[in-house]
Each structure stands twice: as C-alpha cells, then as structure tokens.
C-alpha cells in the first residue's frame, strides 16, 4: 500500500519492486532497482531527524520482509535491511548490511561498508565509522571489516537485484 501523508506522496523509481503487502507512506523517495518486501513498512510521517527531508533511499537497496524504516533521513545505495530489522537512524551509508532483527535507533549514523550483525541494537545517537563490524546488545564495534566481509556485502545486494529482476519478469 502506497499512501500520501500531509500532502507528500512517495516517489518510487519504475525499476523498484514494491510488494503489494508492503506499506509506504509520506515523504519517501525510493531509488532504482530497490525492493520493499511483504510486511515491510517505510514510514516518513514526521520530520524528527531532518525537517523537510523525509526518507531518501538510494539505488539497489532492499528492505526485506517485516522490516520497519521509520523517519530515517537517508539510506544509501547497495544496502540490505534484513528481515524484521527496525531502522530509525539519521543515516545509513552505502554498501551496508543491517542484519535480521537488528535495531538502529534514532539519531544513529552507520558509515559505509558496514555490517550490523543480526539482533544487534545500535544505541540512539551512536556513530559507527566506515568499514565497521558491529554486534551485540547494546551494539559494540568489534573491528574493521575484512576483504571477505566487504565482498559479502556486494554479493548480498547483487543477489537481491537479480531476485528482483526475476520477480519483475514474473509480473510481480
């Protein structure tokens, strides 16, 4: 379901795949080759983080089943937000994996080339530098990503892009 709110209608690239069971509301921009899967919510209904900005989502970014993105200002390109994750961050950089059931609280910032492990809870206002591996409750930076982990990020988002193409071919 795609809904306007306070006169702001979501802007969605034609190449994006939006499940009919997803909910997108308000001042949202979704880039090329993105996907929003069943049960996911992208809700830009308040200007808490950056007044007037809304939620901007870059290219090749995927919001998996039952994830919630609320009031997040900017999500970069080549990002995968895992199943059941909750994201209310100020910013998520490019080439990031937010693991299944992870939580990224308000005003947090995640740099580029980062992995936030499944189940992690990033505290409000936490700033995670580029190339960080983050785990735990509350989240802690456990080190810099290895070359293999960086390759995993690319393999993951590219794999979802291919899946989106298959869904689109099947008329989804």
What per-residue confidence (pLDDT) applies to 49?
Answer: 54
Strands 62-63 and 114-116: unpaired
- Single out the residue of 35, 91, 97 nearest to residue 61, CA to CA: 35
Say if residues 23 and 44 touch (Cβ distance below 8 Å). Answer: no
Counting residues of the chain whose pLDDT is more than 70, the rounded percentage is: 97
CATH of the domain at 102: 2.160.10.10
| This model's pTM is above 0.85 | yes
Strands 62-63 and 35-36: parallel
Least confident of 8-17, 27-36, 49-58: 49-58
Domain, as residue range, for 88? 2-169
Average pLDDT estimate for 4-33 = 94
Domain count within the chain: 1
Average pLDDT estimate for 64-87 = 94
* Average predicted confidence (pLDDT) for the chain: 93
């Amino acid at each position: 379901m795609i809904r306007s709110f306070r006169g702001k209608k979501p802007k969605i690239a034609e190449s994006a795949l939006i499940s009919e069971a997803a909910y997108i509301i308000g001042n949202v921009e979704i880039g090329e080759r993105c996907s929003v899967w069943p049960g996911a919510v992208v809700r830009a209904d308040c200007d808490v983080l950056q007044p007037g900005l809304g939620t901007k989502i870059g290219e090749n970014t995927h919001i998996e089943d039952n994830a919630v993105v609320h009031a997040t200002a900017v999500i970069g390109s080549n990002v995968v937000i895992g199943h059941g994750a909750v994201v209310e961050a100020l910013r998520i950089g490019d080439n990031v994996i937010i693991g299944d059931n992870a939580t990224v609280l308000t005003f947090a910032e995640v740099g580029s080339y980062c992995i936030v492990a499944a189940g992690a809870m990033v505290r409000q206002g936490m700033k995670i530098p580029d190339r960080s591996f983050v785990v735990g409750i509350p989240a802690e930076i456990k080190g810099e990503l290895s070359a293999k982990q960086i390759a995993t990020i690319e393999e993951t988002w590219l794999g979802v892009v291919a899946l989106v193409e298959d869904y689109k071919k099947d008329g989804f």
